[in-house]
Structure 1
Amino acid sequence: MKHYDIAAYIWPAYTGDDTRSLIFWPDGIGEWQSVKKATARYEGHNWPRKPLWGYCDEANPEVMEMQIDAAANHGVNVFIYDWYWYDNRPFLENCLNDGYLKAKNNDRVKFYLMWANHDANYTWDRRLSDTSPDTVVWKAVTNRQQFETVAKRVISQYFSHPSYYRIDDCPVFEIYELRNLVQGLGGTGQCIEALNWFREETKKAGHPGLHLQLCSWGSHRKNMSGVDGATETTVSEELDQLGFDSTTHYQYCHFTNVDRDYAEIMKDVEKEWERMDTEFNVPYFPHVSIGWDNNPRFQNFRHGIVKNNDPAAIEKAFLAARDYVDNHPDQAPLITVNSWNEWTETSYLQPDDLYGYGYLEAIKRVFKDS
Structure 2
Amino acid sequence: MTEIFSYYLPQFHSIPENDRWWGAGFTEWTNVKKAKPLFHGHKQPIIPGELGYYSLDTTEILRRQALLANQYGVDGFVFYHYWFGSGKYLLDKPLLNFLADPTIDIQICICWANESWRGTWHGAAKDQMLQEQKYLGIEDYKKHFEFLLPFFQDSRCLRIEGMPVYQIYVPESIPDLAVYISTFNGLATENGLPGIYWIGVKASSGFDPQSFGIQGMVNGNLANINRYHFRSFSGFFNRIVLSNPVVRKLFKWPKRIAYGIVRACLEDFSTSYSYDFFPLAIPNWDNTPRVKHEGTVYTGASPSSFGKHLLACIQRAKKNSPGKKLVFIKSWNEWAEGNILEPSQEYGRGYLEALKSVVDG
Task: Indicate whether 1:336 and 2:328 are aligned.
Answer: yes
Task: Name 1:199's counterpart in structure 2.
Answer: 185
Instruction: Give SS of 1:284's match.
Output: strand
Aligned match for 1:83, one of 81, 89, 93? 81
Distance 1:331 1:87 in 2: 33
Aligned match for 1:214, one of 176, 200, 215? 200
Instruction: Give SS of 2:96's match.
Output: helix
Deviation at residue 206 of structure 1 after TM alignment: 1.2
The answer to whether the 8 A contact 2:172-2:203 is kept is: no
What residue identity is the alignment partner of 1:152? Answer: E
Aligned match for 1:134, one of 127, 148, 167? 127
Structure 1 unaligned blocks of 5 or more: 186-190, 220-233
Instruction: Give SS of 2:297's match.
Output: coil
The answer to whether the 8 A contact 1:253-1:292 is kept is: no
Distance 1:254 1:26 in 2: 34
The answer to whether the 8 A contact 2:197-2:215 is kept is: yes
Deviation at residue 4 of structure 1 after TM alignment: 2.2
Instruction: Give SS of 1:171's match.
Output: strand
Deviation at residue 136 of structure 1 after TM alignment: 1.7
Task: Indicate whether 1:256 and 2:253 are aligned.
Answer: no
What residue identity is the alignment partner of 2:214? Answer: F
Instruction: Give SS of 1:260's match.
Output: strand
The answer to whether the 8 A contact 2:85-2:140 is kept is: no
Distance 2:193 2:327 in 1: 24
Distance 1:106 1:87 in 2: 29
The answer to whether the 8 A contact 1:292-1:345 is kept is: yes
Task: Name 2:242's counterpart in structure 1.
Answer: none
Task: Name 2:92's counterpart in structure 1.
Answer: 93
Deviation at residue 147 of structure 1 after TM alignment: 2.1
Instruction: Give SS of 2:277's match.
Output: coil
Task: Name 1:308's counterpart in structure 2.
Answer: 300
Aligned match for 1:61, one of 59, 62, 67? 59
Task: Name 2:274's counterpart in structure 1.
Answer: 281
Task: Name 1:244's counterpart in structure 2.
Answer: 214
Instruction: Give SS of 1:39's match.
Output: coil
Deviation at residue 350 of structure 1 after TM alignment: 0.7
Q: Which runs of 4+ in 1 moved over 6 A?
A: none
**Residues matched between the structures, number:** 330
**Structure 1 pair 15–249 and aligned structure 2 pair: CA distance change class (3 A):** farther
What residue identity is the alignment partner of 2:275? Answer: V
Deviation at residue 259 of structure 1 after TM alignment: 3.2
Instruction: Give SS of 1:256's match.
Output: helix
Distance 1:103 1:25 in 2: 31
Distance 1:332 1:204 in 2: 25
Task: Name 2:141's counterpart in structure 1.
Answer: 147
What residue identity is the alignment partner of 1:326? Answer: K
The answer to whether the 8 A contact 1:59-1:96 is kept is: no
Distance 2:140 2:186 in 1: 17
Deviation at residue 19 of structure 1 after TM alignment: 1.9
What residue identity is the alignment partner of 1:338? Answer: K
What residue identity is the alignment partner of 1:202? Answer: A
Deviation at residue 318 of structure 1 after TM alignment: 0.8
What residue identity is the alignment partner of 1:148? Answer: K
Task: Name 2:286's counterpart in structure 1.
Answer: 293
What residue identity is the alignment partner of 2:52? Answer: G
Task: Indicate whether 1:175 and 2:168 are aligned.
Answer: yes
The answer to whether the 8 A contact 1:64-1:103 is kept is: no
Deviation at residue 87 of structure 1 after TM alignment: 5.2
CA RMSD of aligned residues (A): 1.9
The answer to whether the 8 A contact 2:259-2:298 is kept is: yes
Instruction: Give SS of 2:32's match.
Output: helix
What residue identity is the alignment partner of 1:175? Answer: I
What residue identity is the alignment partner of 2:142? Answer: E
Distance 1:296 1:314 in 2: 22
Matches within 5 A, 1:17-36: 18-36=15-33
The answer to whether the 8 A contact 1:217-1:255 is kept is: no
Task: Name 2:265's counterpart in structure 1.
Answer: 268
The answer to whether the 8 A contact 2:283-2:303 is kept is: no
Distance 1:84 1:194 in 2: 16
Distance 1:27 1:193 in 2: 39
Deviation at residue 103 of structure 1 after TM alignment: 4.5
Q: TM-score, normalised by structure 2?
A: 0.86
The answer to whether the 8 A contact 2:99-2:151 is kept is: no
Distance 1:218 1:266 in 2: 20
The answer to whether the 8 A contact 1:291-1:347 is kept is: yes
**Structure 1 pair 40–60 and aligned structure 2 pair: CA distance change class (3 A):** same
**Structure 1 pair 253–270 and aligned structure 2 pair: CA distance change class (3 A):** closer
**Structure 1 pair 341–254 and aligned structure 2 pair: CA distance change class (3 A):** farther
Distance 2:297 2:62 in 1: 30
